[in-house]
């Protein structure tokens, strides 16, 4: 049981922070189906920064590489999200189509760039950037509590960072004037505009937040799941986070519990396969549990959810 909790948290928290980014975007009125691409490109940008810095300053990378990677991953995700923001806000493109295009572009672009950079800069025909293994830590005293202590064992540094960022995002979203204005845009942007709110400016901000938080999630997955960046980072995690925020009714608190559910389903499936000593092919089947759970949640609960009323609608200042 402890193993299920430990592994479930390590998977759920990156999903959660990515889902918060999706909430910011969609509560501002911009449909964001490109979280998958944003987390992948963010992870690519962070891993690329580490690879390039390591050429001239390997000691810096060895000592602080993970934190450098996080900064660049968030910057990369934020910059790449501008593509979706510009298409959706400035050019009023169909936001669903824009999200799909951004996802496809991220997959192909990161694959191409990784191979080209490895070939020309490092002389290695590879589609991976090696990142290394992060240390894990136990929280004294708390980690010794039976069962509950599993929540405080073998913690990656990114888990602490994600929790801190999530709290700050919650405060900004629910306790500030900017957050109030952002939430109002998803329901009635014209009413907000009549009160002097910069609708397009806040929507750009919201989409960029989604990019930065997706980048943080992407580099966390890269370090914890594979210890490298490769196109395999595009494994549907972005779509799981979208499902979580829908199940959480576009609210941060309920979305947190949805991501925990997905995390424990994944780690529970792996534990079940290990306990039954399944062959590799059947182990892969058990890893589909989060996606099966996704279908069930959408089937039984989506009818009761209320999306923002103006979600996906381009803002026309002259139309009331």
Taking alpha carbons only, the member of 11, 48, 8 closest to residue 237 is 11
Name the token pair of 256. 């947190």
pLDDT of residue 277: 73
Q: Do residues 217 and 39 touch, judged by C-beta distance below 8 A? A: yes
Nearest 5 degrees, angle CA 245-CA 173-CA 180? 115
Q: What are the start-end ranges of the H helices in the chain?
A: 2-27, 35-56, 58-85, 95-120, 157-175, 177-185, 189-194, 199-221, 237-247, 252-275, 280-286, 289-301
Q: Do residues 199 and 185 touch, judged by C-beta distance below 8 A? A: yes
State how far the alpha carbon of 17 is from the alpha carbons of 217, 256, 287, in Å: 6, 9, 21
State how far the alpha carbon of 129 is from the alpha carbons of 38, 44, 57, 78, 226, in Å: 18, 8, 16, 21, 11
Q: How far apart are CA 116 and CA 110, in angstroms?
A: 10
Q: How far apart are CA 302 and CA 258, in angstroms?
A: 13
pLDDT of residue 25: 98
Ranges of each domain in the chain: 12-235
Could you give the angle at which helices 58-85 and 35-56 cross, rounded to 10 degrees?
Answer: 150
Tens of pLDDT along the chain (320 residues) come to 888 899 999 999 999 999 999 999 999 999 999 999 999 999 999 999 999 998 888 888 887 889 999 999 999 999 999 999 999 999 999 999 999 999 999 999 999 999 999 999 988 888 899 888 888 999 988 888 988 899 999 999 999 999 999 999 999 999 999 999 999 999 999 999 999 999 999 999 999 999 999 999 999 999 998 788 988 888 889 999 998 999 899 999 999 999 998 898 888 887 877 777 766 666 666 667 777 777 777 777 767 778 899 999 999 876 66
Q: How far apart are CA 205 and CA 12, in angstroms?
A: 25
Q: How far apart are CA 140 and CA 145, in angstroms?
A: 10
Name the token pair of 314. 């381009």
Residue 229, classed as helix, strand or coil, is strand
Residue 228, classed as helix, strand or coil, is strand
Name the token pair of 111. 């694959």
Residue 7, classed as helix, strand or coil, is helix
DSSP assignments along 96-160, one per residue = HHHHHHHHHHHHHHHHHHHHHHHHHTSS---S-EE------B--TTGGGSTTGGGGGSSB-HHHH
């Amino acid at each position: 049981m402890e193993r299920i909790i430990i592994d479930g948290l390590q998977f759920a928290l990156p999903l959660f922070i990515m889902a918060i980014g999706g909430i910011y975007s969609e509560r501002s009125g911009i449909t964001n189906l490109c979280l998958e691409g944003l987390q992948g490109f963010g992870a690519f940008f962070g891993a690329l920064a580490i690879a390039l810095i390591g050429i001239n300053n390997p000691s810096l990378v060895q000592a602080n590489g993970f934190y450098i990677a996080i900064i660049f991953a968030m910057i990369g995700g934020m910059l790449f999200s501008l593509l979706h923001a510009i298409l959706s806000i400035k050019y009023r493109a169909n936001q669903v189509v824009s999200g799909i295009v951004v996802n496809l572009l991220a997959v192909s672009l990161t694959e191409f760039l990784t191979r080209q950079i490895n070939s020309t800069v490092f002389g290695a025909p590879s589609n991976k950037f090696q990142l290394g293994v992060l240390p894990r830590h136990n929280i004294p005293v708390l980690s010794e509590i039976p069962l509950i202590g599993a929540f405080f064992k073998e913690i990656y540094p990114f888990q602490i960072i994600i929790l801190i960022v999530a709290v700050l995002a919650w405060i900004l979203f629910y306790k500030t004037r900017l957050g109030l204005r952002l939430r109002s845009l998803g329901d009635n942007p014209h009413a907000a505009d009549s009160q002097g709110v910069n609708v397009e400016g806040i929507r750009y901000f919201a989409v960029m937040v989604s990019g930065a938080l997706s980048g943080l999630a992407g580099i966390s997955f890269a370090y914890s799941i594979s210890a490298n960046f490769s196109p395999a980072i595009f494994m549907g995690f972005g779509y799981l986070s979208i499902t979580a925020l829908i199940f959480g009714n576009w609210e941060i608190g309920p979305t947190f519990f949805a991501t925990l559910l997905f995390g424990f389903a994944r780690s529970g499936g792996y534990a079940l396969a290990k306990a039954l000593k399944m062959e590799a092919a059947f182990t892969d089947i058990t890893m589909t549990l989060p996606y099966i759970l996704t279908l069930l949640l959408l089937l039984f609960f989506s009818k009761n959810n209320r999306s923002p009323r103006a979600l996906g609608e381009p803002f026309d200042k002259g139309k009331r």
